[in-house]
Amino acid sequence: MKIITPVKQVPETGNVTMDEETGTMKRAGVESILNPLDLYAVESALRLREEHGGEVIALTMGPLSSEKALREAIAMGCDDGVLLSGREFSGSDTWATAYALSRGIGHIGDYDLIICGERATDGDTGQVGPEIASLLDLPIATYVSSVQAVHCAGGEDPCSGAGNGDIVVERMLEDGYETLKLLLPALLTVVKEINVPRLPTLGGKKTARDAEISPRSTSDIPMDRKLVGLNGSPTRVVSIDRPKVTRNGKVIDARDESRREEAVEEVLSCMRRLGVLKR
């Protein structure tokens, strides 16, 4: 099987700040990591490769520093990494990002499966995976919690790499689970319940360190430059507001034995004033 896993480099959650003028995230000088939810997608792809053979290719779009995310994926076991990078991609929203990634996937070609994480921890939209499927006209299953079976055309194993066969998956829903069969090629977005991601080995880290990752731009991969970056982004951050605390709480200290009855009476009195407790 030939599996592509789109991944993203994101800021450490506690270090996220926004530029209020442009409405974009400040990334300069911020420690970045491979999106934690993408680890489950990478692990899913690696397990399918171990079972059915083939290769796993990690794909990302971002500044040159994003190759760090690809090297992390290679250290886990991915066979290769593809980086889409160029000034023309700057400011892309989810739709423009999905368009660029879909063109990158088309450039790689002959894939059987695309596996994405449920969402990225910085934007938290969960839109890119489904948008890629829409742009590539692929069947999609979201919130996949397990892969039940993969059937290759003609019983071949490993699969031919031409997207033949089908895959059976289980989706996690709010009120239970749903089993789906999708014709290959297809796209899955997976949830963290699907597996436990492996840790990179020393050999994997050496392979990742020595891997050659050449950035590719719109000059290398055919795509409409009007559909990437800010020009290709139909959404805009109009304003940024911070939550405001509108209530003032009162701490009632009841640690001392002598204060307990008084504290209980204070609570009951407050509940009566609010109408929660009848007099």
- Residue-wise pLDDT for 232-248, tens only, equals 899 877 877 777 777 77
Q: Is the pLDDT of residue 12 over 80?
A: no
Q: Give the mean pLDDT of the chain.
A: 87
Residue 173 is which amino acid? L
pLDDT, one tens digit per residue, over 88-136 is 998 899 999 999 999 999 999 999 999 999 999 888 899 999 999 999 9
Question: In this structure, are residues 188 and 144 in contact, taking their beta carbons and an 8 Å threshold?
Answer: yes
Instruction: Report the percent of the chain where pLDDT is more than 70.
Output: 90
pTM, full prediction: 0.80
- What CATH code is assigned to 2-227? 3.40.50.620
Taking 90 as the threshold, does the pLDDT of residue 177 lie above it?
Answer: yes
Specify the amino acid at residue 89: F
Instruction: Give 4 or 250, the one with higher predicted confidence.
Output: 4
- Any idea where the domains of the chain sit in the sequence? 2-227, 243-279
Amino acid residing at 113? L
Report the pLDDT averaged over residues 18-29.
58
Whether 160 has a pLDDT exceeding 70, the answer reads no
At 91 the pLDDT is 86
| Token pair for 83 | 């980086």
Neighbouring-strand partners of residue 59: 6, 82
User: What does residue 198 show for φ and ψ, rounded to 5 degrees?
Assistant: -75, 160
Is the pLDDT higher at 196 or at 26? Answer: 196
The DSSP element (H or E) to which 81 belongs, if any, is strand 80-84
Rounded distance between C-alpha atoms, residue 107 and residue 98, angstroms: 14
Q: Is 115 within 8 Å of 5 (Cβ atoms)?
A: yes
* Burial (0-12, 13-18, 19+ Cβ within 10 Å), 276: exposed
Confidence of residue 156 (pLDDT cuts 50, 70, 90): low
What mean pLDDT comes out for the span 173-181? 94
Does residue 8 surpass a pLDDT of 60? yes
275 or 188: whose pLDDT is higher? 188
pLDDT at 278: 73
Beta bridge partners, 169, equal: 147, 180
Residue bearing the bigger pLDDT, 243 or 64: 64
Q: What's the pLDDT at 230?
A: 87
What percent of the chain is modeled with pLDDT above 90? 60
Q: Is the pLDDT of residue 21 over 70?
A: no
